[in-house]
């Protein structure tokens, strides 16, 4: 009886959903009006470990946060808090999770995508628009 229960539980384990990585801007908020210069920024990351790439171990689902301003990469970060220098004007801030090998973390309809998956796989990223005075 116990063996049958263990086999049944072992078989159902493969049907459990895989955690899906998430990234979201905490600060600045979408639509924020900011002063020009250095801006404190932070993001929320779930189900993904940010690391120092110099110390990263291949084969582990870890990587960095790539931040872009107006489509131009401004840095790769191993933390969720950072400082950005923004000039006056309207800007789009993009936070993207990227594996240590440089490939973006991708998901499709609430499920992670494996390498080679096609159709519906989108990068795990968040975008906010800010106005800097």
Task: Evaluate if pTM is beyond 0.85.
Answer: no
Give residue-wise pLDDT tens across range 17-63: 578 889 999 999 999 999 999 999 999 999 888 887 666 555 556 88
Please check the confidence at residue 98 and state whether its pLDDT lies above 60: yes
What's the rounded Cα separation, in Å, for the pair 29 and 22? 17
Q: Which pLDDT belongs to residue 3? A: 32
What letter does residue 51 receive in the DSSP assignment? Answer: -
CB 91 within 8 A of CB 70: yes
Contacts from 71-77 at CB under 8 Å and sequence distance 24+? 77/50
**Which pLDDT does position 4 carry in this prediction?**
39
Fold of 18-132: Immunoglobulin-like (2.60.40)
CA 10 to chain centre: 31
Residue 110 has pLDDT above 50, yes or no: yes
User: Would you kindly state where each structural domain of the chain is located, as residue ranges?
Assistant: 18-132
Selected residue with higher pLDDT from 73 and 115 = 73
Nearest to 128 by CA among 4, 14, 29: 29
């Amino acid at each position: 009886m116990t063996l049958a229960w263990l086999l049944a539980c072992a078989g159902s384990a493969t049907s459990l959903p895989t955690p899906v990585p998430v990234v979201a801007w905490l600060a600045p908020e979408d639509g924020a009006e900011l002063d020009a210069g250095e801006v404190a920024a932070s993001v929320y990351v779930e189900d993904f470990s940010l690391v120092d790439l110099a110390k990263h171990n291949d084969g582990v689902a870890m990587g960095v946060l790539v931040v872009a301003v107006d489509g131009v990469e401004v840095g790769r970060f191993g933390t969720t808090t950072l400082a950005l220098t923004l000039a006056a004007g309207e800007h789009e801030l993009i936070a993207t999770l990227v594996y240590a090998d440089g490939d973006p973390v991708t998901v499709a309809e609430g499920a992670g995508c494996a390498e080679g998956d096609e159709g519906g796989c989108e990068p795990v990223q968040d975008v906010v628009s800010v106005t800097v005075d």
